[in-house]
Amino acid sequence: MITLKEALSLSKDELNKFKDELKAKIEARPELNAYIDIKSVGEGVPIAIKDNIQVKEWSVTSGSKILQGYIAPYNATVIEKMSEAGLSPFGRVNMDEFAMGSTTESSFYGKTQNPHNAECVPGGSSGGSAAAVGAGLAIAALGSDTGGSIRQPAAFCGIVGMKPTYGRVSRYGLGAYASSLDQIGPMTQNVEDAAILYDIISGSDKKDSTNAQKDDKVTPNLNGERKLTIATLPKYVENASQDVKNAYAKAIEALKAAGHTIVEKEMMDAKFDISAYYITATAEATTNLARYDGIRYGNRVEGKNLEETFINTRSEGFGDEVKRRILLGNFVLSSGYYEAYYVKAQKTRHIIKDEYAKIFEEVDLILSPVAPTVANKFGELENPMDMYLSDIYTISVNLAGLPALSLPIMKNADGMPVGLQLIASAYDEQTLFDGSLSLEKQINYKG
């Protein structure tokens, strides 16, 4: 597959020909189920769009039954920014319902296969984005990351996935899961393409009150030769599988060989991250999902009166995982439990943020696993708690609002990709991309 950088120099005729071929290739792989549908807007470079990002006049459903029939009335800001830069949305890609999950198994449209092994999940929630790029069925894709949903599927599918600093990319037109954690980001074949797409979609937007209103760009100064100080987390990695430990050791050697300075650091037990994240995320999700009442959006299941219509619509429209989180979110926000759970989670969130800030006083980047294992088989994370625990390495980054990039390091004995992430301090995407480029070059991963 051609890279985004290469595609940007194609003529209109070449692009149109490329799109026809791409469409045929996608249609030849229906079993992968990465795409929900293939539509195209304009004449730009085609980019696959996660089904929670609005493209005007396209169906947008966040992988849910409750939004069947809903048509986006306007473009998300990222789509506007893309079209100004000569990129155009091409196809809606699959995801876990309302971005809740780590496997893409909770989608209304059925599961998506991992391009490296049809019995394995592609990760989630941006599993369609990752599988499309990993299978050579997209030049690049947009995903969204609330607790790892860009980085983890990128790691499972052997591609690059980047979560920007909270506030860098406008959330206007993104279906909200947990508003204080959500960020849209690029999913690409390599680090340079991620930087290009990040530069295009990031920047100020008056329509998002949490936008940082910053417009500085990474690609003009992209420099894989910079020598950096990078923290490793030996204790943190102890709970990961042997595959991940092997990749971690390999990455440390590569970073040393590239001339970076490695220092060892520690972080508090990640079990606190899980609690703080699942309390915060479900509390916010409960509030965000209250709007799906059968009156304003999408699907309606009529009842005898208004209340029954709400109940019928939500009972039939939401899947099990979404219902579980609505219940949990209401519980942690209810009087009597608010102080004990929600307030405590916010305090923990601050401690995590401070902990990162302290490490970043001494280092430029942190090297961390993305997931504890390679991609699991379908149905393997049957117990929701097992699924939540698999997020331990990604969610603290969202709680602290930091930028992070997941890139492939190696394949295990079964040919499954193992990815790791670099984490930077807030708004230091420049260093994140510089360090990632250096590691990518030194590792020379072959997909």
Residues lying near ligand GLN in the complex (CB under 6 A) are found at 99-102, 125, 145-149, 177, 281, 391
Residue 149: active-site member = yes
Indicate the residue among 105 and 434 with the shorter CB distance to ligand GLN. 105
With contact defined as beta carbons under 8 Å apart, do 220 and 227 qualify? no
Options 62, 64, 107, 125, the catalytic residue: 125
Indicate the residue among 147 and 401 with the shorter CB distance to ligand GLN. 147
With contact defined as beta carbons under 8 Å apart, do 363 and 414 qualify? no
| Beta carbon of residue 125, minimum distance to ligand GLN (angstroms, whole number) | 4
Task: Give the integer Cα–Cα distance in Å for 177 and 52.
Answer: 10
Options 19, 50, 81, 411, the catalytic residue: 50
| Beta carbon of residue 188, minimum distance to ligand GLN (angstroms, whole number) | 18
Indicate the residue among 46 and 101 with the shorter CB distance to ligand GLN. 101
Indicate the residue among 46 and 319 with the shorter CB distance to ligand GLN. 319
Indicate the residue among 100 and 135 with the shorter CB distance to ligand GLN. 100
Residue 396: active-site member = no
Angle (deg, nearest 10), helices 320-333 and 271-289: 100
Indicate the residue among 49 and 99 with the shorter CB distance to ligand GLN. 99
Sign of CA dihedral 296, 300, 304, 310: negative
Options 62, 129, 149, 170, the catalytic residue: 149
Three-state SS for 384-445 is HHHHHHCCCCCHHHHHHCCCEEEEEEEECCCCCEEEEEEEECCCCHHHHHHHHHHHHHHHCC
Interstrand relation of 140-145 and 45-50 (parallel, antiparallel or unpaired): parallel
Residue 425: active-site member = no
Task: Give the integer Cα–Cα distance in Å for 349 and 360.
Answer: 17
Indicate the residue among 7 and 381 with the shorter CB distance to ligand GLN. 381
| Beta carbon of residue 173, minimum distance to ligand GLN (angstroms, whole number) | 16
Write out the E strands in 179-324: 183-188, 229-232, 261-264
Interstrand relation of 261-264 and 404-411 (parallel, antiparallel or unpaired): unpaired
Written as six digits, the tokens of 30 are 């229906």
Q: What does residue 365 show for φ and ψ, rounded to 5 degrees?
A: -140, 160
With contact defined as beta carbons under 8 Å apart, do 70 and 57 qualify? no
With contact defined as beta carbons under 8 Å apart, do 367 and 419 qualify? no
Q: Which residue has the tokens 């990455």?
A: 251
| Beta carbon of residue 200, minimum distance to ligand GLN (angstroms, whole number) | 22
- By residue count, the chain amounts to 447
Indicate the residue among 262 and 389 with the shorter CB distance to ligand GLN. 389
| Beta carbon of residue 409, minimum distance to ligand GLN (angstroms, whole number) | 21
Task: Give the integer Cα–Cα distance in Å for 112 and 340.
Answer: 38
| Beta carbon of residue 321, minimum distance to ligand GLN (angstroms, whole number) | 8
The residue whose Cβ lies closest to ligand GLN is 149
Write out the E strands in 51-182: 87-93, 140-145, 160-163
| Beta carbon of residue 282, minimum distance to ligand GLN (angstroms, whole number) | 8
| Beta carbon of residue 260, minimum distance to ligand GLN (angstroms, whole number) | 28
Residues carrying an active site annotation: 50, 125, 149
